[in-house]
Amino acid sequence: MFVGKEGTDLKFNYHMPVKVIMGKGCIKANSDLFSNRWQKALIVTGKTSAKKNGALDDVVQVLDKNGIAYVVFDEVEPNPPIDNVQKGAETAIRHSADLIIGIGGGSPMDAAKAIAMLAANGNPSGNIFRSDYEKPALPIIAVPTTAGTGSEVTQYSIITVPEERTKKNLSAPSLFPEIAFLDAGYMKEMPRDITINTAIDAYSHSVESYLSARSTEMSTVPALESIRVLGEVFPILAGKKAIDSDTREKLLYASMLGGVAIAQTGTTVVHAMGYALTFSKNIDHGMANGLLLCEFLNYVRPENKEKVDTVLTLSGFSTTEKMKEIFIELLGQNRILTKDEISEYAERTVSAKSVANTVPVPALEDIEELYRKSVGV
């Protein structure tokens, strides 16, 4: 059942070194964690949200209080491409930053991680996804302002590679943030569509992790709890009422748990297939996963019947068809890919590392079939 090193009885090898602090006002309440540690921070954000939702102000106040100088790099694009993070790394080096703080959704948090690695290693050109960096990344602090990616507790930084028309994963133990501050108050004004897309990304992480070939007892616990909490929240997201602060907290908690789970197991073919949809069709990351997830469950079901039933029961869906109905209600119908596009995207996807985590491992034709059933015209 467990995948350890071949020939050993290893049950799991669990590593999650992030100090995770959750609660309203948690950054300012823990100002002492910053004292006498760092001289100069690079704060990495997207264009506007961190300024509007109060997260940037809170971080700046705490840095000021501790006498830590800072520079803001607020140019992170959604699904950040390589040149975007290289520019951030240049800024970090120019200002001799010794701490990188990522505030935002997955895009700024992942950019902050890549910047931390590149800056520590002199912003090398060439393949940024290599595993032989000489120095560990600069210390990272993460402040998630979406509830979806769980990047605040993972060692992954997902960066777009325009030449390859997809995204790739920079992964290293030093990319685990040192501290993650989870304050759902920053999400008060988040539009419903971003809330739904990111919630479904979190759900996808937990479901994929639970069904991954690399799933262990330790990864199953956060994955199932995340699925259960998100199952409670789906009816609220599908309704018309405003999303209250309790629901926001649940989403942020479940998203963090999904991150803890994928930090152990990685994702599966769902995320790999979603990257092509995001790159070529500009479909939001969480939405892309959501559009693929129901057919993924149908595909893995013959070999994972009990697990798929557990996912459906915990989520409050009677069948995958019912789940699909609700997801279409949440995300909208999106039948967009022609036969030629499906062949091209499947080619791009089949060699992605995470495909091998899927049980059973899909062949090219299986990936084509999954695209066709999920989003084919």
Instruction: Kindly list the residues in this chain that would bind ligand NAP in the complex (CB under 6 A).
Output: 46-50, 53, 78-79, 104-108, 110, 145-146, 148-151, 154, 156-158, 167, 186-187, 189-190, 194, 198, 201, 285-286
78: exposed, middle or buried (Cβ count in 10 Å: 0-12, 13-18, 19+): middle
DSSP-derived 3-state class of residue 180: strand
**110 binds Fe ion, rule: CB under 5 A:** no
Work out what residue 151 binds among Fe ion, ligand NAP, none; the CB cut-off runs from 5 to 8 Å by kind. ligand NAP
Q: Which of 58, 110, 183, 201 binds Fe ion (CB under 5 A)?
A: 201
Bridge-partner residues for 142, per DSSP?
A: 102, 180
Task: Please say which residue, 123 or 265, places its beta carbon nearer to ligand NAP.
Answer: 265
335 DSSP 8-state letter: -
Task: Please say which residue, 150 or 362, places its beta carbon nearer to ligand NAP.
Answer: 150
Task: Please say which residue, 231 or 286, places its beta carbon nearer to ligand NAP.
Answer: 286
Looking at 44-52, 58-66, 199-207, 210-218, which segment touches Fe ion (CB under 5 A)? 199-207
Q: Are 325 and 281 in contact (CB under 8 A)?
A: no
Least separation in angstroms between CB 288 and ligand NAP: 9
Least separation in angstroms between CB 215 and ligand NAP: 17
Q: First vs last Cα of the chain: how many Å apart?
A: 38
**Beta-sheet strands, E only, within 87-165:** 99-104, 140-144, 156-161
Q: Which residues ranging from 61 to 100 are in contact with Fe ion (CB under 5 A)?
A: none
Closest CA relative to residue 330, chosen from 204, 194, 186: 194
Work out what residue 292 binds among Fe ion, ligand NAP, none; the CB cut-off runs from 5 to 8 Å by kind. none
Distance CA 201, CA 371 (A): 18
Least separation in angstroms between CB 343 and ligand NAP: 23
Q: Are 142 and 180 in contact (CB under 8 A)?
A: yes
Least separation in angstroms between CB 76 and ligand NAP: 7
Taking the CB of residue 39, how many other CB atoms lie within 10 A of it? 11
Work out what residue 53 binds among Fe ion, ligand NAP, none; the CB cut-off runs from 5 to 8 Å by kind. ligand NAP
Least separation in angstroms between CB 355 and Fe ion: 15
Distance CA 342, CA 338 (A): 6
* CA angle (369, 371, 374) in 5-degree steps: 105
Distance CA 16, CA 327 (A): 31
184 DSSP 8-state letter: G
Task: Please say which residue, 120 or 143, places its beta carbon nearer to ligand NAP.
Answer: 143
Least separation in angstroms between CB 259 and ligand NAP: 6
Taking the CB of residue 320, how many other CB atoms lie within 10 A of it? 19
Looking at 201-209, 250-258, 357-365, 367-375, which segment touches Fe ion (CB under 5 A)? 201-209
Task: Please say which residue, 157 or 358, places its beta carbon nearer to ligand NAP.
Answer: 157
Task: Please say which residue, 84 or 204, places its beta carbon nearer to Fe ion.
Answer: 204
| Binding stretches for Fe ion (CB under 5 A) | 201
